[in-house]
Amino acid sequence: MNKDPRKRVRAATRPTGRNNSKHVGEIAEMQFMLEAARRGFGVARPFANNQRYDVILDAPRRLWRVQVKASGAEHHAGFAVRACWRTTHKHMPYTSKQIDFLAVVIQGRRMLGRRIWYLIPVRALGGRLHINLYPFGCRKDGEQRFEKYREAWGLLGEPEGRRSEIV
């Protein structure tokens, strides 16, 4: 047994099994699909993982391709989000040919079990690889450029019919 307590702590906090980023991402996708269905949208997942989008939303006038991200990574007064995909050698920004929206769920220690959704049109990302979201405010001017997309479900259109009674 290793007697160095720092190594034991690192080993205990290292992502394993269901605690890794892939699992966290899959949970975020399910949360997004449940929230969208609760709001009356049709939801579907593409077959396999060979598309840049995670979920297809069936809105009244069209289908939306949505990439879902989760962030609990606090960065200064906000939350850091990777707004890109990776190749073997580099990070690539999402384009409007790949996705229509980036959906980000903020869920961290400060959230106390609540979730905040951001529904950001891909064009608003402007080719950025990383963005920071500030649901609790920020001192820097201009850093809150994505706040207008907080809980912006209306950008997807109003689904026909009533909201589901799913809790």
What's 101's domain CATH number?
A: 3.40.1350.10
At 20 the pLDDT is 79
Q: Is the residue at 4 inside a domain?
A: no
The pTM score is 0.81
List, in sequence order, the alpha helices (H) in the chain. 5-13, 21-38, 122-125
Tens digit of pLDDT for each residue in 75-128?
677 888 999 998 888 999 999 999 999 999 998 666 667 889 999 999 999 999
At 128 the pLDDT is 93
How confident is the prediction for the chain on average, in pLDDT?
A: 83
Number of domains in the chain: 1
Q: Is the residue at 164 inside a domain?
A: no
Percent of the chain exceeding pLDDT 90 equals 48
Greatest Cα pair distance in the chain:
62
Q: Tell me the C-alpha distance between 77 and 68, whole Å.
A: 22
